[in-house]
Structure 1
Amino acid sequence: MADKCDLCLLGLIILSSLLTGTSGVDDHVFISSGENVRLSCNNALSDCKSKTTWFYYNSFSHSAVVELIKLGIMKKDIERHERLSLESDCSLNIKNVTEEDYGSYTCRQYVNGQKQGTDARVSLHVLHVSVSPSSSSSSSSSSSQTEISPGRSVTLSCQLYLYTGLSCDDLVSSEGFELLWVNQTGVDLKTDSRYQILSSSYQYHCFIITLTTTLLNEDNNREWRCQLTHRNQLKTSVRYTVKYSGEKTVLEEPHNVSNTKVYQYH
C-alpha cells in the first residue's frame, strides 16, 4: 500500500512539474466554438520546430497529460490531430474549435533531449451556443442549422467552458466574469419580458445562460448575441440570427462577433 501511495505521489509531482512552469502567469485565450485559434509559444527558441513539444491537459475530462506534438512532429494517434498544426514560430493552431478543446496547453522546448528554459502555458476557454429543439440531421452542434415552425418556443443555451483553478462563484465575485444575452443594439434581454433568461454554473469549469422565447413574425432577421465580459470589457461573443424561409424558421449557425481576446490575470 505504501509503494502504491508513493507512486501516486510521484505521478502528482511529475504532473505538477509538467503543467507548472516558473513564468508565473498563464496566457488566457477566449474563443467561440467553430472559430480558429492560435496559441503562442512564448519560450520558443530559434529554429524551434524540431525542438518544440506541446502538451494538453484537462483535469475535468482527462486523467493524464496528452502529448499533441513531440519535437515538432504531430502525434497521429490524437483524435483531433487533423485540426492541429505547428507554425514556424512554434505557436499551436487549432481549427474549428469545439467545446472539448478547452483546457491547459503547455509549450516546452528541448535541445539534445534536455528541457530548455521555462514552460509557456496557455489556458484555452471556449464559448459555445447550442439550440433546442435540435436538428436531427446536423452533423455537429457547432455547425448545425435548426429548423422550427414559427410560433414555437426556442431555447438557446450559451455555455462558457472555463479552465481555471477557481470556482465559478469566485470568478463572478472576484474576477468579474459575466455572460449576457443581448439584442442587436447591445441591450440586455433580461429587461424584456418576452425573454426568459436563466443562469447557472457548475462548480469549476463552466457557466450557462439560457434564453427562451416564442418566435414572432417580426423576428425575421432578428439577432441575439451571447457575450462574455470581464470587468465590463467584452472578451468574445457569439450571435444567432433568425431567418424565415417559407413556413419554417432557420436559426443560423453561430458566428464569432469579436476577435479573439487574450489577457492575463493573477
Structure 2
Amino acid sequence: MDSLSLLVICLFYLTQAASGHHPTGNPLLMVAVEGDNVTLPCGIPSIKTCSSISWDMSAEFNLTDEIIKKEKPTAPSSHRYRLLKDCSLQITQLVLNDARLYTCKSGTLKSSVSLRILCITERSLPANDKKMELHCYLSTNKGADPCFNHKELHINWSSEDDTPINGSRFVIEHPHNCFSKLIIDTKSTDHHRKWRCHLTQNDLVKATISYMTTVEDGLEEVFATVGESVLLTCGNTSSPDMKWTLREKQLRDASSPDNGQIKASHVNQDSSLVISRLSSLHAGDYQCSHSTDKKDVLNKFRLHTLDVTAMPAGLRGDNLTLTCALTCATECEKDFELTWSGSAHIGWQSELMNINNTLIKKLFLPESSVRSYEDITCSVHREGARVASKKWRAVDPLQTPAWVGLPLVILIVAGGLYIYTKRKRNKDAANDQPSTEMTHVYEVVQDDRNEEQQQQLHLKREAATATTSFYDLLQAVN
C-alpha cells in the first residue's frame, strides 16, 4: 500500500506540472487596471507550434467561451484579442468584465491564468457627513479564484508621489488582503486631490490605480515655483462673460489698459487663466465665475509659491546663505514643511520660521567649496507628500554671462584703442611736417658753418707749423 500511495502522489505531481498548474492547483494570478493592455502567458511546456493551441475564458454557470482557435480570434470582440508568436494571449483596452479565468489548451495539456482588475470606488455618505470613504479592491468576476487563496497579496494607500498616507485625519482598514478602505476626514483643499492604491504580491507592486476626489464648494490647492508659468482652468466652458478674481478683486487680461492685481497674465479662449513669470506676489485665492452671477463659481484655486534665493558669502562672512521661502495664499497650514536635499548635508540648516504667512528655512554653506556642491533642492511637503521643489545650482564665476562675454569686451576695447592711437599718430604727423622741413634747412646751414670753421682752423695750424719750423732753423744756426 505504501508503494502504491507513493506512486499515486508522484503521478499527481507530474500531472500538475504537465498541465502548467502549481501543485496547489492555483492558476497564475495577474493583476491590471482598466484601460491597460495585458499579455497572458501559456504555461504549457515545449510547444512547437501554436496551431494546436486554443484559449478559453470562464463564463456563467461554470461554462467557458472560446476566444482563440487555430491561431485566430473567435470571440465577439475579436479585435481586442491577439495570439502572439509564443502562444501567449494579448488583451487590449481592459474592462471590468475581462476579470476572468483564462485557460490555454493543447490536447490534454492545459494552463490557466486568473486575471483580476484593481479598482477604486467612493462610497456615498450623507451630505452632512464631513468624511469620505474610498474602497480599493480586486474585482471578482465569472470563474475568478477567491482572493483568500492568495495570502501573499496586500493593498497599500499613498499620496500622489507614492508617500504612504499617515496623519490623524486618515483611517485605513483592511477587511481582507484584497480589499481596503481609506476613510478621510475631509477639508476644502481635498478638492481635486489624487490618492493612489497599490496592490503588492510578496512585497512587489503588481498594479497601481489613482483616484481624484471632489469636495463640494472645495478649492484646488496648487504649489508652483517662482519664475514658471501656471495654468488655472475654468471648467469645461468658454464664455465671454467669465471673470477671474484674486482675493475678491477682478483680474483683467494683460492686453487690457488696466491689468488689475496681476501682471504678465492673460485669459485663453477657453476662459483658463495663464500666469507667466510667477512671483511671490501671485500667491492667493483665485476663482472663476460668471460675471452676471457672482455666486455661480465654477472653479476655485489656492495658489502657493516656492522660491530659492542666494546671498553671497561676502555679505555674510564665511558662509553662502540659501533661503527657501514658501509664500502661502492665506495662512500656512501646520502640515506644510520645507526640506533641503542634495549637498545640503554639507552645511547647517535653520529652524522653520513662519513670517507674515511665509515659511522660511535657510541653509548655510561654506563658501570655500561652493563649486563642489551637487544640485541642492528645496522641497515643500504637505502631510508628508512632496508637492513642489526648486533647485539651486552652484555657478562657477568663470561660467557666468559676464565672464563668458569678457573676451568680446576686451576685443572691442582693444580695437577702439588701436583706432584711436592710429588716428592720433596721423594727426601728430600732419602737425609736425613744417617743423621737420625747417630743421632740415637749419642742419644744412650748420653744416656750411662747420666746414668754414674747419678750413680756418686748418690754416691756423699750417701757420703755426711754419713758425715752429723757422724757429727750429734759427736754433740750429746759433
Deviations 1:181-208 (A, max 9, x none): 222344443x32323434335xxxx833
Deviations 1:138-178 (A, max 9, x none): xxxxxxxxxxx9x975433211136435x62x64xxx3321
2:74 corresponds in structure 1 to 75
1:225 corresponds in structure 2 to 196
Aligned to 2:86, which of 86, 89, 110? 89
Residue 129 of structure 1 aligns to which amino acid in structure 2? Answer: I
Structure 1 position 91, deviation (Å): 1.6
Q: Using the alignment, how far apart are the partners of 1:159 and 1:211 within structure 2? A: 11
> Equivalent residue of 1:100, what SS?
helix
- In structure 2, relative to structure 1, the CA distance for the partners of 1:99 and 1:20 (3 Å cut) is farther
Q: Using the alignment, how far apart are the partners of 1:41 and 1:22 within structure 2? A: 10
Is residue 34 from structure 1 mapped to residue 57 from structure 2 by the alignment?
no
- In structure 2, relative to structure 1, the CA distance for the partners of 1:32 and 1:20 (3 Å cut) is farther
Aligned to 1:122, which of 92, 113, 116? 113
Aligned to 1:240, which of 200, 211, 215? 211
**Sequence identity percentage:** 22
Q: Using the alignment, how far apart are the partners of 1:130 and 1:242 within structure 2? A: 10
TM-score under structure 2 length normalisation: 0.35
- In structure 2, relative to structure 1, the CA distance for the partners of 1:62 and 1:96 (3 Å cut) is farther
Deviations 1:2-61 (A, max 9, x none): xxxxxxxxxxxxxxxxx996333343212122211111224374442x332101126xx5
2:159 corresponds in structure 1 to 183
RMSD: 3.6
Residue 57 of structure 1 aligns to which amino acid in structure 2? Answer: S
Q: Which has the higher strand share?
A: 1
The number of aligned residues is 195
Gap regions ≥5 residues in structure 2:
1-15, 215-219, 221-234, 236-287, 289-297, 301-478
- In structure 2, relative to structure 1, the CA distance for the partners of 1:199 and 1:192 (3 Å cut) is same
Alignment of 1:201-212 (within 5 A): 201=176, 207-212=178-183
Structure 1 position 218, deviation (Å): 3.3
Q: Which has the higher helix share?
A: 2
Cα pair 1:52 1:72 within 8 Å, conserved: yes
Aligned to 1:159, which of 137, 152, 155? 137
- In structure 2, relative to structure 1, the CA distance for the partners of 1:85 and 1:62 (3 Å cut) is farther
Residue 86 of structure 2 aligns to which amino acid in structure 1? Answer: D
Gap regions ≥5 residues in structure 1:
1-18, 110-114, 134-148, 250-266
Higher relative contact order by CA 8 Å / sep ≥ 6: 1 or 2? 1
- Higher gyration radius (CA): 2
Is residue 98 from structure 1 mapped to residue 95 from structure 2 by the alignment?
yes
Q: Using the alignment, how far apart are the partners of 1:131 and 1:207 within structure 2? A: 16
Q: Using the alignment, how far apart are the partners of 1:71 and 1:129 within structure 2? A: 38
